[in-house]
Amino acid sequence: MGRDWRDERISELEAELVAKDGRIAALEAEGAAKDARIAELEQHVSMLTEQVAMLMKQVAGLTEKLGQNSRNSHLPPSSDSPGDREQRRGKKKSKSERKRGGQPGHEGSHRELLPPEKVTKFIDLFPPECENCWTSLPRVPDPFAKRYQQTEMPPIEPHTTEWRRHQVPVPAVATRRALRTTRRRSQHGGSVRG
């Protein structure tokens, strides 16, 4: 018995099936390769995203530092850029109509003079001669003399007390006796701490 047309058709279909299986295997391999490449690229994108975030933070910090000068940070004026210095010098304050110092009607702040009874020492100063003609001048006290006072604190010196424990002979007995006292623990008095 010979080959039937159906057998030929079966052979053709089997050949097509083998070809399609090969094509499917090739496409699956290609898909697996693309999946691997996608995973690799996703990992790379994740790493680059982290780097971009880190660099953005660094740029923000550097931009903030770049904007610092002696007016808005702890930096000294000598660290300002030449442009900042010129800008600082260029801004001059508007001239005020008032004069410098205390204004009319302002009561000055000063220490009141002590009354004469509380002054320890008086020093009278007299001009020796006239400033114009150089004639010697007499030392006549002025009741309205200009007064100046200077207050000094005396140097502090320690006050030291010495106790002496003497031994005294007892007339009836041939021995010497001393006053019984408790021994002091410290050489410093009660006002000295340490």
What are the phi and psi torsion angles at 176 (to 5°)? -115, 140
The pair of three-digit structure tokens given for residue 174, joined into one six-digit string: 């041939």
Q: How far apart are CA 99 and CA 96, in angstroms?
A: 8
What are the phi and psi torsion angles at 57 (to 5°)? -65, -40
Please report, rounded to a whole number, the percentage of residues in the chain having pLDDT higher than 70: 85
Which pTM does this prediction carry? 0.32
Looking at residue 34, what is its pLDDT?
95
Q: How far apart are CA 151 and CA 145, in angstroms?
A: 19
Least confident of 10-19, 39-48, 163-172: 163-172
Segment holding 29, helix H or strand E: helix 5-66
Segment holding 167, helix H or strand E: strand 167-169
134-153 per-residue burial string, b: 16 or more CB within 10 A, e: under 16: eeeeeeeeeeeeeeeeeeee
Looking at residue 92, what is its pLDDT?
63
Residue 130 has pLDDT above 60, yes or no: yes
Task: Please name which of 179, 175, 185, 176 lies closest in space to residue 165, comparing C-alpha atoms.
Answer: 179
DSSP code, position 79: G
Beta bridge partners of 136: 129
* Residues whose CB falls within 8 Å of the CB of residue 188, separated by 6 or more in sequence, listed in order: 194
